[in-house]
Amino acid sequence: MKQYLKQEEKWKDWENVEMKWISHHNPDFVVLDDNGNEKERYDLQGWSAAKLEKIMEDKGFKRR
C-alpha cells in the first residue's frame, strides 16, 4: 500500500480524491458526504491496491 499511495502516487489517477498525510499513522481511506462529513472509514493496513481500487469503484469514484 505504501508503494501505491506514497511512491507511485496512484491515488492521483482518481477524480475527487485527496491525500492527507498524518505522520506515524496507518493509512485510512475516508469517504465524505456532500457536506464534507465523514461517512465511512476503512483501515488500509494489509490491503492490496486491487482491493482499494475495487472499493473506490464500488463507492462511485472514477478514474481520470
How do the domains of the chain map onto residue ranges? Answer: 2-58
> What is the spatial distance between Cα 50 and Cα 1, in angstroms, rounded to a whole number?
10
pLDDT greater than 90 at residue 52: yes
Q: What local confidence, expressed as pLDDT, does residue 27 receive?
A: 92
Q: How does pLDDT run across 4-32, given as a tens digit for each residue?
A: 999 999 999 999 999 998 888 889 999 99
pLDDT more than 70, % of the chain: 100
Q: What local confidence, expressed as pLDDT, does residue 2 receive?
A: 86
Q: Under 8 Å CB-to-CB from 13, ≥6 apart: which residues?
A: 63, 64
> Once rounded to an integer, what is the mean pLDDT over residues 28-53?
95
